[in-house]
Every structure is written in structure tokens, then in C-alpha cells.
Amino acid sequence: MAELPSRTPYGYFSQSQEITYMGTSSPASRPDSEWDAEALKDWVSSRSRPLMIGAAVVLVAVAAVAFSRSSAQRKNSRAEAALMTGQSAFYSGNTAQAKTDLGSVISRYGGTASSSQAAMLLAQIHYSEGKHEEGIKLLTDAAKSAPGPFRAGLAEMIGSGYADSKRYAEAAEQYTKASEFAEFPADKDIHLADAARVLLASGKDAEARKIWERLASNPESVVQNEAKVRLGEIDARPVVP
């Protein structure tokens, strides 16, 4: 029985006939695996340039991140070493040298943990010399770029500077900020108590009462007992008509 011709994309051929097209075997005569391999090869070839560009971009990005991290680590290491020098002068009582060393840490390594600590130490020197404005400005500038863990401490010290200057409204504002920045509930309540104290000292009993009532109502607060005492003091005050 004669073979029936089969239809291919290139015409009708007998099944036993070797099919060629433009000098090469036609798709009908090639194994699937051969075509899969050639199709993949063609795809890679046509996209090799975009793939190479993409790989290069990724490598550059990875290198940039690695360099940035390495640079930050070196900066932090230098800042820590400089801070240790300033701390040594501070705790040994060499105020003049401490001012120079700590000021250098602040100016050269702004935004680092060491810079924040240096600002707090230098502000203590200013406060001890009665230069509250200088200390407050120093701390305020440091707070703008301080790492998160230091924001509460900086706000608390700014509040102390205002309180010592009898600028109670500003002090209360800073103590409230310190409470917001603080990570742990105990620290939050301690800073709120600071705010309530300066409000009470400035005669703002109503505002102070709100804070003390909040703290007194919390059985887990570390300042609950003081809050109850302060509320009693407010109640005992004569009412001013």
C-alpha cells in the first residue's frame, strides 16, 4: 500500500522522504530536544546584552552597598576612639581638654552614636558653668541627626536646661517629647512625671493634674505612688479665685 503524504508547514511529503528546506533538515525531521536546545540558545543569544547589562547593574549596586557599610563602620570606629579620648578628659576633670576633644567628635562625626554622647557630656559642662543657652543649643543641634536610641536622652537633657532656666513651658514640652521617644514604659512614665513637676512648679495645676491622674491610674507605673502624693498636694492647695 502506497504511503500517504503527510502535511507539514512546508508542504506535503511522504513519511519516508527526508525533508530538507534551504539545505537543512526541516522541523518535522528534528527531535524535540534538539529544537528545545536551539530555541534556548537563540533566546540567550538575542538577550545576552540586556542580561549582561542587568548583571552589571546588580554588581554595581551590591558593591555600592558594601562600600557604604564599610565606610560607615570605619567612621563609627574612628568616632568611638575619639569619644574615648574626650571621656577620659571629662572624667579626669580636665574641662578645657574635654571641651576640645568632645567638640571635635561632634563636628567630625555628626549623626553617630558617639557624636550624641559627646554632645551630652559637653552640655553637662555648659550647664555646670551656668551656660544653659549654649548647652540647649548644642543638644538641639545634635538631636536633629541623632540615632533613635539617643533622642529620648537628648530631649530629657534639653528639658533639664530649660527647667534650670525656669522656662517651665519649654521644659515640659521637651520632657513630653522624651516620653514619646523612650522605648520602655518605665522611662516613658518617668519623663511624663518630669513634665508634670515643672508644670506644677509653674502654677499650671490643671495640666499637671491630667498627667498625675494618668500615672496614678496605672498600677504598673513606676511613679504611681508619687503621682498619688502629687494629686493630694494639688487638692490641698488653696483655690485661687
Secondary structure in 3-state letters for 148-160: HHHHHHHHHHHHH
Rg (CA), the chain: 37
DSSP letter string over 81-102? HHHHHHHHHHHTT-HHHHHHHH
Look up the CATH architecture of domain 171-241.
Answer: Alpha Horseshoe (1.25)
The number of beta carbons lying within 10 Å of the beta carbon of residue 21 is 14
More confident residue, 146 or 8: 146
Q: Is the pLDDT of residue 5 over 80?
A: no
Helix runs in the chain, H state only: 32-91, 95-108, 113-128, 132-143, 148-164, 168-181, 185-201, 205-216, 224-236
pLDDT at residue 240, rounded to an integer: 58
Sign of the CA dihedral running 210, 216, 222, 226: positive
pLDDT at residue 65, rounded to an integer: 54
Per-domain residue ranges for the chain? Answer: 75-146, 171-241
pLDDT at residue 178, rounded to an integer: 98
Give yes or no for a contact between 193 and 229, defined as CB atoms under 8 angstroms apart. Answer: no
Look up the CATH architecture of domain 75-146.
Answer: Alpha Horseshoe (1.25)
Q: Is the pLDDT of residue 141 over 60?
A: yes
Residue whose cell numbers read 508644670: 199
pLDDT at residue 72, rounded to an integer: 74
pLDDT at residue 36, rounded to an integer: 63
What's the predicted TM-score (pTM) here? 0.70
Mean of pLDDT values over 55-61: 61
Lowest average pLDDT, out of 68-72, 118-122, 145-149, 182-186, goes to 68-72
Q: Is the pLDDT of residue 27 over 70?
A: no
CA 122 to chain centre: 24
pLDDT at residue 16, rounded to an integer: 45
Closest C-alpha to 145, from 110, 183, 120: 110
Average pLDDT of the chain to the nearest whole number: 83
Lowest average pLDDT, out of 67-76, 131-140, 174-183, 185-194, goes to 67-76
Read off the pLDDT of residues 90-129 as tens digits, 9 standing for 90 and up.
999 999 999 999 999 999 999 999 999 999 999 999 999 9
Q: Which helix (H) or strand (E) holds 29?
A: none
Mean of pLDDT values over 36-45: 65
Q: Is the pLDDT of residue 1 over 70?
A: no
pLDDT at residue 59, rounded to an integer: 61
pLDDT at residue 239, rounded to an integer: 65
pLDDT at residue 45, rounded to an integer: 66
Hey, do 75-146 and 171-241 end up sharing a CATH topology, with the first three levels equal?
yes
Mean of pLDDT values over 171-189: 97
pLDDT at residue 43, rounded to an integer: 61
Q: Which helix (H) or strand (E) holds 21?
A: strand 20-21
- Distance, in Å, from the CA atom of 89 to the CA atom of 99, rounded to the nearest integer, reads 9
Which DSSP letter does residue 28 get? G
